[in-house]
A and B are shown apart, each in its own frame.
Chain A
């Protein structure tokens, strides 16, 4: 019998069962199962609870690590942060990730616009009323040529890198080569430490808001969020995609997604995300279509796990 005939014969033989039947109570089985699983979930909830670590805030970040906060804000201002250079769906700073000529991110466009210098530094500073010195500093910066702005941010960044005491060092940064930046960054830090930036980045044109895109992107640009994640074994290099804070099992079903990020070329590729998504997309489709894939669909017949599953049947027949 050829492969095609055998496959068809196996298929036909499984269409109708003409053998014996035994009594079965579907409703009783389902009721018992729901009861057992409810009890099991309740017992697990009592024994292990669930994680709920408080979210980070800009206020807490600015208090805990002012130097990291100002460094991140500076990278937003000079356009070197991840957000500022991300591309779609946040801005047009780059084309985003792609595979060959397929630029899905670019084609879908800028759906959640973020202007990093304006949204994270300039506009929050402009919202501070009654401080003419600050507003003059902001005007000086925004009206300066791009080359002058770059000279100020570069010089200020070098000074910031030498700060030893994160809590007090930022406020002591003064130099003529920094231009208006010490005034701007001091005020931005103070605004953040009082909690003003949390609200500023969350608010939009309407009273209610549930969109945390800007504030989360700002936090993600920091070293503060990553440091906390590392301590909780959540980084990508720590198989973090499938982990959760504490010792909870997390999303263990994402192990295959996470696996690709651990090996080359994905671990070093600038297009890692789109490559992994493409691979997982192909594998998911293949998984769904197993009944039609020769070889994969034939494996169960070659590796006789089925003899264990139906051993009672084979013994009695």
Chain B
């Protein structure tokens, strides 16, 4: 086995992928031990709180899925885990909404971070039907009512033809696998993009903005 370099190495897909991944995200960016001095507000906590809520959702949801959809109706322990799952979902949306509002007021898409915003916003949009499938998978009166009411919206745009809210088996599959997989993939992509581009710097004040016309880098250089 040889350790060839040059043209042969350039054609190697594995080498290409390694260069691309570690070029974009070297270890010190992926797992940083320092962060910009302007990251000094409680508002920054809501991102990690959203992620933590998602971790609790997945943990409690995994236990519920392992025991089967009927377990929590007959077991006090099962009901407890269902309650943890429910409240983690409420916390997830609560923290995510605050996080999104905060990022909006920060104009957090600046500096080539549009994809960071887009992945976050799409996560919110996808999390809604993910939660809906959970409410419908409950197998109780809430599930009966919510599914029979929400079906009209799905049917009206044709989605109901392949996303049948009244088919428990289908919706349960969506809820325990497909939708969480999409949400987790989006969140992973979002976090990696944050790590790659860093937390968005502060908006320049009016006086600083005037200076940007002649030197766009002035604010970041003079900001400290």
Contact = CB atoms under 8 A, between A and B. Distances in A.
A264 to B, nearest CB: 18
A194 interface: no
Contact of B153 (A29, A38, A273): A273
B121 interface: yes
Given A1-B213, A216-B144, A11 B112 contact: yes
B223 A40 contact: no
B128 interface: yes
B193 to A, nearest CB: 13
A310 B41 contact: yes
A288 B118 contact: yes
A313 B202 contact: yes
Contacts of A17: 36, 38, 198, 201, 220
B35 interface: yes
A40 B224 CA distance: 38
Given A30-B48, A219-B144, A52 B79 contact: yes
Nearest to B73: A52
A254 interface: yes
A317 B110 CA distance: 20
A287 B120 CA distance: 11
Interface string B117-141: 1100110110010011001001111
B62 interface: no
B107 A297 contact: yes
Size category, A interface: 35 or more
A180 B142 CA distance: 38
B40 A312 contact: yes
Interface string B24-41: 000000011111111111
Given A30-B51, A213-B167, A22 B105 contact: no
B110 A53 contact: no
Nearest to A37: B52
Contacts of A126: none
Interface in A29-73: 29-30, 33-34, 36-38, 40-42, 44-46, 48-56
Contacts of A300: 104-107, 203
Contact of B205 (A97, A276, A314): A314
B109 interface: yes
A53 B145 CA distance: 11
A18 interface: yes
B224 A316 contact: yes
Contact of A241 (B43, B97, B150): B150
B78 to A, nearest CB: 10
B161 A50 contact: no
A287 B212 CA distance: 28
Contact of A213 (B140, B166, B203): B166
B57 to A, nearest CB: 9
Nearest to B55: A34
A217 B219 contact: no
Interface in B196-216: 198, 200-205, 209-210, 212-213, 216
B140 A54 contact: yes
B98 interface: no
A27 B31 CA distance: 8
B37 A19 contact: yes
A111 B212 contact: no
B102 interface: yes
Contacts of B53: 37, 41
A19 B114 CA distance: 22
Contacts of A11: 110-112
Contacts of A89: 155, 160-161, 164
B223 A313 contact: yes
Contacts of A34: 52, 55-56
A20 B223 CA distance: 9
Interface stretch (A100-108, A139-147, A153-161): A100-108
A109 B73 contact: no
B80 interface: yes
A9 B164 contact: no
A165 interface: no
A314 B222 CA distance: 11
B161 A277 contact: no
**Of B53, B72, B107, most A-chain CB atoms within 10 Å:** B107
5 contacts: A15-B112, A18-B217, A112-B160, A234-B149, A301-B203
Given A38-B52, A51-B142, A310-B203, 16 more contacts: A9-B209, A13-B219, A19-B38, A26-B32, A33-B52, A45-B87, A55-B139, A104-B157, A217-B166, A254-B128, A273-B156, A276-B153, A277-B153, A305-B105, A306-B105, A306-B107
